[in-house]
Amino acid sequence: MQKQRSPVQPQGLYGELMAHAAGSPNDELFAQMIASQIDGIGALPPGLGLAEQDFSALLARHFPGAELVIRNAGQTEDPRALERDDVLALLIEHRAYRDSSEAWMAEIVTAACMASDHLWQDLGLRSRDYLGKLMTQNFPSLAAKNVHDMKWKKFIYKQLCEKEGINACRAPTCEYCADYLNCFGPEE
Ligand code: SF4
């Protein structure tokens, strides 16, 4: 990965990106994720898991004039390709169709779902609240289904199971389930 940046600003790369923000939906969320990824926070790969040309397009659209060059690792065979496809399809099915960046966001969230921490942490967001904003803004009909504030990664995978008619839960209702804290406990 190669970075080209001007002298460090008070908020580092995040501040630099936001100084160039286009005023589009998702600018701030993308800035958090890019800065975190470069600082080694979270689990997203270089380029947030996007193809190199897509990441360049994202930078040009959301942070025009910002200079940042990232070389993505080459494509390797993905043993979880089917799972990725399912998560991506679920997100795309629920995209808001208010802004084209929702398609990039769907790919980025899918990449973070492959990691093992809480989703907001894997995305490199500053708090869980930003993930709530991300989901509501980009995938509103999916976010609206999470009425009990389930942990987001658990919630996404539960939607996939329900789509397939699979009930992987060990209890008939969440209220009496021994795994309740796994699904609904604090995401810290
Ligand atoms: S709390 Fe139990 S029943 Fe509810 S979604 Fe989680 S595993 Fe399923």
Nearest CA to ligand 1 atom 4: 174
174 Cα: distance to centroid of ligand 1 (angstroms)? 5
* Ligand 1, CB cutoff 6 Å, lining residues: 158, 169, 171, 174, 177, 179-180, 183
**Length of the chain (residues):** 188
Q: What is the pLDDT of residue 73?
A: 67
Q: What is the pLDDT of residue 8?
A: 41
Q: What is the pLDDT of residue 7?
A: 42
Q: What is the pLDDT of residue 122?
A: 97
Q: Is the pLDDT of residue 91 over 80?
A: yes
Q: Which of 80-89, 136-145, 158-167 has the lowest mean pLDDT?
A: 158-167
Q: What is the pLDDT of residue 92?
A: 98
pTM of the prediction?
A: 0.88
Q: Is the pLDDT of residue 5 over 80?
A: no
Q: What is the pLDDT of residue 74?
A: 67
Q: What is the pLDDT of residue 6?
A: 44
**Angle, CA 46 vertex, CA 41 and CA 48 arms, to 5°:** 80
User: To test the ligand 1 pocket, which listed residue (154, 156, 169) has its Cβ within 8 A of the most ligand atoms?
Assistant: 169
Q: What is the pLDDT of residue 87?
A: 96
125 or 80, which is more confident? 125
Nearest CA to ligand 1 atom 8: 169
Q: Is the pLDDT of residue 9 over 50?
A: no
Per domain, the residue ranges of the chain are 12-184
Nearest CA to ligand 1 atom 5: 174
183 Cα: distance to centroid of ligand 1 (angstroms)? 6
pLDDT digits (tens, 9 = 90+) for 42-59: 999 999 999 999 999 999
Long-range contacts of 124-131 (CB under 8 A, 24+ apart): 124/32, 124/33, 124/35, 124/36, 124/37, 124/41, 124/42, 124/43, 124/44, 125/29, 125/32, 125/33, 125/36, 125/42, 126/32, 128/187, 128/188, 130/29, 130/32
